Every structure is written in structure tokens, then in C-alpha cells.
């Protein structure tokens, strides 16, 4: 499996965009980039995923570099409720592959 | 509300006791999973069931057994609890093991072994 590297923690201001980086320099051609988050004491929650094109949904945007070796999750207008641990995960999309969580980035949104 | 339900939410066991953690989903998902999360750590996969009638080991299966009772239910059993099994246990489900974006997690069972 391709491994990911994320900063351990970061702060961001309420109302501003939060940009969460993730390095995955050993990613393979068939591997997707997934983002989940875990708000304190709750189960993880799916945010977004992508293969090579940028993706956007109601929660966030995912920007994947052209060489696919890194990506950025963007929360466009961070709120206090976005305080959580964010996990960047790289996995093949084929059947039989399970989700494996690393340490993630602890994001603190400040007023 | 549709989702994954775990019981109990909290449990304290003495070393050597046994217990079963229950998990049920009502989304007609084929695959189900058990993870554990130690303080300050990421989640680690214990066991999973790709479909009804099948189970497979994950990253940290030792000390645990599982049963996929039917499509809805997937239980995790600790035969002889040890303090090292103190953790938060999350159950999850998805349409299939390949659908990594479709995982739905329960709210967790907080287990303390003394």
C-alpha cells in the first residue's frame, strides 16, 4: 500500500479556508486518495475521494497534483465544528481492499 | 435513522472475563468491519467480513473472534479480556470492501479492562 504523510497538527481561523496537505509519493496508478475525518469520540466520517481529477462536494474540495504524489483537502469556510482529526488514505479501488488509517492531522479551528 | 448501531456503548471488564460486542447495520451493506482505536492513535482493523458467511483477519486479530450472524449483524468476541485490549471499538459497514468511500461507522464501544 502507498503510505501517506500528513502534518501532525494545524490550526486555522474560523471562516477561513483550511488547506490540509498530504504526501503520497509512492502512489500507484490504480490507487485512490480518500479523506475521512473523526470528530472527538465519534466514528470516522467520509469526506471525499479522487483518483486524478480534482473533486468537490458539499463538504470539501480535493486537489490532486498532476503527478499524483500529493494532494490537498480544502475546507472552504472552516467552522468550529470542523475541529477534528483528518485522515488521508491511499487505497486501490478494487474489491478486497480495506481502509487503513494512519495518524492523521489534528485540525483545530479557532474563533 | 439508517446507520450502524453498536452495543454496549461503555463496558468495564475484569482481566480474564469474556464479552461480545454487537454491531448491526440497516443499510443492506455486504461488508462489515471491526476496528480498534487506542488513545491518540489511528484506527486498526481487527477483522472484517466481505460478505455474509465470510470473515477474514485484519491487522490485529489476536485475542478476538468474530461472527457474521447474518447480513445485518457482525459481532466481536473477547474470550479472555486483557488490559491491552482497553480501547474504543468501532464497527463499520460498506456496500463492498472495495468501496472505500462508502464506509459508515458506528459511534463506538468504549471498553476498559482492569
Average pLDDT, 10 consecutive residues per value, chain B (114 residues): 90 97 94 92 91 92 96 96 97 76 89 97
CA-CA-CA-CA torsion sign (A14, B103, B91, B46): negative
Give the integer Cα–Cα distance in Å for B84 and B54.
27
User: What count of CB pairs under 8 Å joins A to B?
Assistant: 68
Q: What is the pLDDT of residues A37-85, one digit of tens each?
A: 999 889 999 999 999 989 999 999 999 999 999 999 999 999 999 999 9
Contacts B96 to A, Cβ<8 Å = 95
Closest chain A CA to residue B32? A98
Q: What is the pLDDT of residues A7-28, one digit of tens each?
A: 999 999 999 999 999 999 999 8
> What is the side-by-side strand order in the sheet with A9-13?
A9-13, A105-110, A84-92, A31-38, A45-50
- Residue B76 has a pLDDT of 98
The CA distance from B18 to the nearest CA of chain A, in Å, is 24
Give the integer Cα–Cα distance in Å for A63 and A29.
17
Give the integer Cα–Cα distance in Å for B42 and A71.
20
Mind spelling out the 3-state secondary structure of A13-77?
ECCCCEEEEEECCCCCCCEEEEEEEECCCCCCEEEEEECCCCEECCCCEEEECCCCCEEEEEECC
The CA distance from B11 to the nearest CA of chain A, in Å, is 15
State whether B105 and A44 contact (CB < 8 Å).
yes
- Residue A94 has a pLDDT of 61
- Residue B101 has a pLDDT of 64
Amino acid at each position: 500500500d502507498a503510505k501517506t504523510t500528513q502534518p501532525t497538527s494545524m490550526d486555522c481561523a474560523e471562516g477561513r479556508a483550511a488547506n490540509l496537505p498530504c504526501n503520497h509519493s509512492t502512489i500507484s496508478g490504480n490507487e485512490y486518495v480518500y479523506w475521512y475525518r473523526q470528530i472527538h469520540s465519534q466514528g470516522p466520517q467520509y469526506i471525499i475521494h479522487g483518483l486524478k481529477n480534482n473533486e468537490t462536494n458539499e463538504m470539501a474540495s480535493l486537489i490532486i497534483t498532476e503527478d499524483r504524489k500529493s494532494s490537498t483537502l480544502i475546507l472552504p469556510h472552516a467552522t468550529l465544528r470542523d475541529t477534528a482529526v483528518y485522515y488521508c488514505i491511499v487505497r486501490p479501488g478494487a474489491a478486497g481492499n480495506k481502509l487503513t488509517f494512519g495518524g492523521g492531522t489534528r485540525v483545530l479551528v479557532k474563533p | 435513522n439508517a446507520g450502524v448501531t453498536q452495543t454496549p456503548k461503555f463496558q468495564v471488564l475484569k482481566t480474564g472475563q469474556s464479552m461480545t460486542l454487537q454491531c448491526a447495520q440497516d443499510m443492506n451493506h455486504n461488508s462489515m468491519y471491526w476496528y480498534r482505536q487506542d488513545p491518540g492513535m489511528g484506527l486498526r482493523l481487527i477483522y472484517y467480513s466481505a460478505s455474509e458467511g465470510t470473515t477474514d483477519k485484519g491487522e490485529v486479530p489476536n485475542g478476538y473472534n468474530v461472527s457474521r450472524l447474518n447480513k445485518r449483524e457482525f459481532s466481536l468476541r473477547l474470550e479472555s479480556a486483557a488490559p491491552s485490549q482497553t480501547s474504543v471499538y468501532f464497527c463499520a459497514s460498506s456496500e463492498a470492501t472495495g468501496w472505500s468511500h462508502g464506509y459508515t461507522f458506528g459511534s463506538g464501544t468504549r471498553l476498559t479492562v482492569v
